[in-house]
Structure 1
């Protein structure tokens, strides 16, 4: 087992994370922590180099949650899992480009085998980014500027229960959490482009109104990993 972990960890020796402008934050001189083999990828399960930073004085700490090979395969940010070119969920991008969903192995061994085969075939360098003119849907829905509100602190759980005594010094947000489909997000669904409530909201808005705007606050970064 130890030999297997060491062998897998050598697959990724990252020097910089693959992240979008929103997750990186407005400060170009942000200080990052680099943790080799600091976690297991939420998609593939393999060890990877974790990066952690704070994208602003009033923002919460953020860290990468998937390995770079997995991020490159879908051309997504290692933190929020949104497309790097358009700032959209994978499901929206794939729908706009007419890309059919890949068959997803159910077992962890199957997923690891699929990723290894992609690495051997050189298929982890995504074909989604940079090439050709985007579709009309992508041009209309694409987010072209960073949305730093996504980096704000999480809701204070003590405040929700009426027990927070820190007042203005509390580093968490003093407001009631939202409910509904957007509060039930899943990292694996976001990555594979299935059952994504944020994507469903965008696609519904496009079909009904065709407006040239993306939704305001989607809290996309708070997608939770799938429980097994």
Structure 2
């Protein structure tokens, strides 16, 4: 889980013990042992400000040994988001789009929180909105809108931390989905994607395959058989895909 790894250690050190007191108090309360619950709740000291509510949400998300930990994570995250806390909005976008642990994806909530976060030009929000429009989930499929949202996602990302948006832009530019076919853009987007070491082997193999084709055919730039061959070889290593075999055999005679 990677939505807030930078915050995880600091937050767990600060409030991990308090979280456990809160859970104990809630268990007493659920069992009708109100006196014991009251004592534990006093010790737990519930969050009094929006940033602490967010921190509690983060901490609960990582406390997998606690029953219903994601229920409480979402409860505190949503409390923080209802007050316009941007980090909470962004985290909820990822939670609801991708699903996590026992919680399945909820595309309606993902859309709602993504719209809120997008007001602040949040790159994750733009990425998820782009996915929803591209895939036609909760909203009507709209490839043109998806294309523009993917572009906004990479424009607003810090240190280009939305590599998959580059991949999708490359595919859409190459295939003419939501935009006109543009091999120059496709080549640029694919090259940016593989330079980010994204970790999605199938997508990375696909990007290298199309870069191989474009270098072989001179699409979006000069023809370069050496590069084409290298892209095909690496694509096959990433995906073990037989589609590269023909090109590898034929380009190997020319390099």
TM-score range, shorter chain: under 0.3
Q: TM-score scaled by structure 1?
A: 0.24
Higher helix share: 2
Which structure ranks higher in relative contact order (CA pairs < 8 Å, sequence separation ≥ 6)? Answer: 1
Q: TM-score scaled by structure 2?
A: 0.22
